[in-house]
């Protein structure tokens, strides 16, 4: 299948999902990237090196899926448990061929400069990791300030950072960052709208690699893992939804290309959930109206992110229509049956079935008969596609097993 996406555009779009974990202060990775690039620019780094620095900065916190862990990382200058997300992030990047060379950078973005000297690493990796560490810590120091407050508090920030020069950070980087931060533009650049414009401008003048379908798949898988790591109750959710949608689509006779695209849409369908606070996702009981609104936002956030990644490609729509129903009562677009393509209908059923098969905070995994009953009721109410549900019923045990139940247990439960 021919598929050509600019790598810069993909990393930028998908890094917004990583940034969602910051919930209200949601552009951390991008601010770190811009600040680090100011320093790299001053130090005369080559363009390709600055591009790698930007990719690594955008994705440096991809190992953080929970809002709780994110809270620690942005409130403590040196958090004792910081290494966990570095290791997870490195493992995730290692699985994406176009980005695997940045895995060690992410691995060491909380390693002290003094420590880095003792490790057997290329100097380029060491420097990139440490520059991200430094920019990251400045972003943490400025987190609670608006632009004017940040400029007023600039000397305090650098008093703190200078204290760690040589120990945590490469001294040359601290000096260059202080020099860059002396300009007002440095701080204005960090405001959300300016940040977006600045990045857009960089993407236009950057000669980025082009991704093909396999690259997109590898990156989508990486993000499925990030989303699924959000809570133990959603472990493997996106992965299983992908497997099940593919099984249903191919069983219903859709082409290999469509199955491939539906698989990608399924990996990415819950991207927006990264913005839902852990407490809501893991709540043991009914959600309040306000919590429900927060939850319902996720498929719109998926849409926004995928639109930036794929433009008007159907994958973006199939993924973000997974909570729509044929009756128009779904969310967030309240689409009608004629607006819902068959691929989106398959994904919606696969999503529901996987969720029913998974243990959730408020109930245990459901056996095949219960899944058939609940999905059947939704179909009878006109919400789900009857042909897709028909296929599910004809292949119930297999679908149930793919969704996460064991085939043997399914058979026993069905008897």
**Cβ-contact 375, 349 below 8 angstroms:** yes
301 is an interface residue for Fe ion by CB under 5 A: no
CA-to-CA dists, residue 303 to 1, 16, 268, 317, angstroms:
23, 12, 10, 7
243 is an interface residue for Fe ion by CB under 5 A: no
Please spell the DSSP secondary structure of 341-385, one letter per residue: -HHHHHHHHHHHHHHHHS-BTTBPPPPHHHHHHHHHHHHHTT-S-
Quote the least distance from Cβ 362 to Fe ion, whole Å. 16
356 CA to centre of own chain: 23
The region of 61-69, 82-90, 194-202, 216-224 touching Fe ion under the rule CB under 5 A is 61-69
Angle between the N-to-C axes of helices 171-181 and 28-42, in degrees from 0 to 180, rounded to the nearest 10:
100
Q: Where does 40-179 show beta strands of DSSP type E?
A: none
Query: What phi and psi values does residue 211 have, to the nearest 5 degrees?
Result: -90, 140
User: Checking DSSP bridges between strand 5-6 and strand 210-211, what pairing results, if any?
Assistant: antiparallel
Quote the least distance from Cβ 56 to Fe ion, whole Å. 11
19 is an interface residue for Fe ion by CB under 5 A: no
For Fe ion, the closer CB: 211 or 323: 323
Quote the least distance from Cβ 61 to Fe ion, whole Å. 4
351 is an interface residue for Fe ion by CB under 5 A: yes
The region of 80-88, 208-216, 345-353, 357-365 touching Fe ion under the rule CB under 5 A is 345-353
Q: How many residues of this chain bind Fe ion (CB under 5 A)?
A: 4
Quote the least distance from Cβ 193 to Fe ion, whole Å. 22
Beta-bridged to residue 211, according to DSSP, are 5
Binding mask 171-210 for Fe ion (x = CB under 5 A): ----------------------------------------
The region of 42-50, 53-61, 163-171, 242-250 touching Fe ion under the rule CB under 5 A is 53-61
349 prior amide bond cis, ω within 30: no
Binding mask 99-138 for Fe ion (x = CB under 5 A): -------------------------------------x--
Residues 251-290 that bind Fe ion (CB under 5 A): 270
Residues that bind Fe ion (CB under 5 A): 61, 136, 270, 351
């Amino acid at each position: 299948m021919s598929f050509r996406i600019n790598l810069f555009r993909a990393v930028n779009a998908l890094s917004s999902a990583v940034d969602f974990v910051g919930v209200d202060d949601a552009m951390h990775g991008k601010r770190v990237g811009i600040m680090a690039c100011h320093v790299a620019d001053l130090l005369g780094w080559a363009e390709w090196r600055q591009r790698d620095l930007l990719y690594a900065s955008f994705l440096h916190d991809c190992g953080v899926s929970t809002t709780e862990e994110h809270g620690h990382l942005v409130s403590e200058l040196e958090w004792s448990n910081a290494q966990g997300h570095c290791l997870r992030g490195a493992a995730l990047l290692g699985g994406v061929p176009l980005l695997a060379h940045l895995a060690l950078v992410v691995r060491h973005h909380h390693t002290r400069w003094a420590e880095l000297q003792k490790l057997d690493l290329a100097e380029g990796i060491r420097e990139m990791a440490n520059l991200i560490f430094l920019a990251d810590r400045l972003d943490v120091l400025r987190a609670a300030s608006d632009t004017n407050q940040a400029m007023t508090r600039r000397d305090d920030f650098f008093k703190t950072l200078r204290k760690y020069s040589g120990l945590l950070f490469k001294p040359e980087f601290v000096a260059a960052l202080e020099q860059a931060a002396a300009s007002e533009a440095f701080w204005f650049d960090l405001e959300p709208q300016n940040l977006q414009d600045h990045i857009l401008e960089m993407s236009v003048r950057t000669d980025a690699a082009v991704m093909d379908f396999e690259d997109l798949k590898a990156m989508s898988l990486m993000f499925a893992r990030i989303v699924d790591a959000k809570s133990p109750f959603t472990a493997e959710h996106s992965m299983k939804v992908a497997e099940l949608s593919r099984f249903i689509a191919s069983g219903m006779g859709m082409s290999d290309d469509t199955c491939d695209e539906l698989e990608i849409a399924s990996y990415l369908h819950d991207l927006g959930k990264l913005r839902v606070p852990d407490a809501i996702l893991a709540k043991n009981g009914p959600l309040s109206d306000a919590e429900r609104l927060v939850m319902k936002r996720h498929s719109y956030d998926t849409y926004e992110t995928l639109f930036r990644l794929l433009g008007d490609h159907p994958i973006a729509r199939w993924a973000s229509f997974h909570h729509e129903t044929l009756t128009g009562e779904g969310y967030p677009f309240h689409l009608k049956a004629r607006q819902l393509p068959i691929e989106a209908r398959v994904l919606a059923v696969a999503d529901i079935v996987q969720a029913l098969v998974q243990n959730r905070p408020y109930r245990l995994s459901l056996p095949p008969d219960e899944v058939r009953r609940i999905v059947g009721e939704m179909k009878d109410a006109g919400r789900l596609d009857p042909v897709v549900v028909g296929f599910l019923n004809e292949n119930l045990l297999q679908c149930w097993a793919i969704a996460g139940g064991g085939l043997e247990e399914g058979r026993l439960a069905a008897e």
